[in-house]
A and B are shown apart, each in its own frame.
Chain A
Amino acid sequence: MSSHLITLSPLDLTIIAIYFVVVIAIGFYLKGRAGTGEDFFLAGREMTAWVAGLSFLSANLGSLELMGWAAASYQYGILATHWYWIGAIPAMLFLGIVMMPFYYISKTHSVPGYLKLRFGESSRALSAITFAFMTILMSGINMYSMALVMKVVLGWDINFSIWVSSLTVAVYVALGGLRSAIFNEVLQFFLIWLGALLIPILGMIEAGGWSGLSARIAQNLGNSSFTHLWSTLGSFTDNPMGIHWTGIVLGLGWVISFGYWTTDFLVVQRVIAAKDLRSAEMAPIIGAAFKMMVPFIVILPGLLGLGLLPMKLTGEAEAVATGGHSYNEVLPLMLARYCGPGLMGLGITALIAGFMSGMAGNVSAFATVWTYDIYRAFIKKDATDAQYVSMGRWCTIIGVLVSIGTAYLVMQFQSIMDYVQALFSFFIAPLFGTVLLGMLWKRATPAGGFWGLLSGTVGSIAMWAWVKADPSALRYIALSPNAKDMAENMYRGLWSWLICVGVTVAVSYATRPKPESELKGLVYGCTLIPRDEHVPLFHRPMFWAAIVTTVFFILNIVFW
């Protein structure tokens, strides 16, 4: 028996090879369009709403996102959909309608750059350094996980997967900057959809539609809780995730989701590159419309695996011990179930494209924050634009190499993987509090912004350490001793956001605010936001946001 899951045919390998040739060709083609800092780091600020919107979504659609959430849906059922609906849609719409005008009108090049304008140098330094560190760490961890999956699924050598895919990303981003990253992300968006969409289509035909699938899952598991979104969230013990609806709504739907989608520069950078304010507002709304559909290619395959696969998938350790398959293999297993030569190559290309779009997002955001918010701010303030572009290119390559180093570090110390989601949540939730108050509250002062951000981050780390040292503290942090890791992350995010907001408000009232003249273009009430009454209804961001909101509510009710 073969030691790996899938054997690729020459046709599949041809399809994968063509993909690599095209993404590198795009990088070379766009090299001449990345001569200035504005071109290299912000794609010349001339992206249309569609390009910015699809890239905004694609930068988040890594292959781990695809395979990880398919695995989560096999493990936890349809509850995993919350990370795509309530855990994304409201925040993306809020970014487009409420926050985008301030990011765009302030002409900032990054989220730390906005904090510099609003709160001063210390807040920028704190957020830039934590962002750069976390981005590279996440990039390395994703790289290692991807290579591990390629080894299990295809039998590819881990070193080969890591070096070939990451150096390809380094080449096309270093050559063409953000424009090249964005163009490739749009291409990857199409490949991800067209490569993965066949699984749910054929799966639903085999299962006999949604009612047939629900019946099979209920029969296999002995209960129907895996196909209901909200009805099992009344108690921590009634659902497989060990979570309560307050954690989903307040922790995930409010703090974690808003923190990620509105302040993580990895995704916000794509929208800042839009050609005008209306495109910048529309981009997250377009992204939200497609994000709402992602469960059909990610969650549904996991549920189909639960209903249709003859074998039972298990955790990684048990799979290794028994020679069986783990949850993480559900998407490749479904791919192998339905796709022969050609279609298999397209599906694997979709996974590789997902990995590369996520990594390109990480390195292009890292290069911008390092060059503008660390190098220019603290190391070399008087360099020329050409020197900053050169630094950006080197940063891209160095960022990829450090990511590769991190991947090898994780290979040696796999326990790092257990902590990374918690590490990421330390910074995201408080940052959202700081940016939100900065945009919506004139009275927030520079000292308030800095101390709020710092105390929220330190508070989050302290809560995490408390539970590590004394597991019984979970009943205070997550409101229940039965809460699981995901629930703990949600509640810790909520508390750290509240700490950040509380300290920002208290310190702001004790310190002197900036004069209103310095807040123009940065804060609600001091910024003239262009109105769109003269724009036809079908071109108004608010109209499309309302449509997306309506569909969002309908979907949640249908799968209640």
Chain B
Amino acid sequence: MQHKEIPIWFFIGSLLAVYGVLILGYGLYSLGDPTAGKTVLAELHADIWWGALLLIIGAGYCIKFKPSRN
């Protein structure tokens, strides 16, 4: 909040962005994996769009709440 502290929103953004990359990456990788897709509604590829959503939210928070050098 004050005192040049890194905002909690930046921590949240970083974590969500990392999770987004991991989940989206796995989702894209499993597109070519015939053994994937054992869950119900796997054909909707929730990992791809949910991972992308996490990445967008996370990146947005990282940019908006980037710690200031001053």
Contacts and interface: CB of A to CB of B under 8 A. Distances in A.
11 contacts: A11-B22, A11-B26, A19-B15, A51-B8, A187-B8, A194-B16, A206-B40, A339-B39, A340-B38, A340-B39, A341-B47
B1 A48 contact: yes
Contacts of A18: 15, 18-19
A15 B22 contact: yes
B40 A338 contact: yes
B1 A51 contact: yes
Interface in A249-291: 275
Given A46-B1, A346-B23, A26 B15 contact: no
Interface string B6-42: 1010011011101100110011001000001111111
Majority secondary structure of chain A interface residues (helix, strand, loop or mixed):
helix
Nearest to A187: B12
Contacts of A340: 30, 36-39, 42, 47
Interface size class of B (residues with CB under 8 A): 20 to 34
Contacts, number: 80
Contacts of A337: 39-40
Interface of B: 1-3, 5-6, 8, 11-12, 14-16, 18-19, 22-23, 26-27, 30, 36-42, 44, 46-47, 50-51, 54, 57
A11 to B, nearest CB: 6
B6 A29 contact: yes
B35 to A, nearest CB: 11
Nearest to A25: B11
A343 interface: yes
Contacts of B27: 342
A66 to B, nearest CB: 18
Interface residues of A, number: 33
A343 B11 contact: no
A164 to B, nearest CB: 19
A338 B45 CA distance: 10
B41 A205 contact: yes
Interface string A391-428: 00000000000000000000000000000000000000
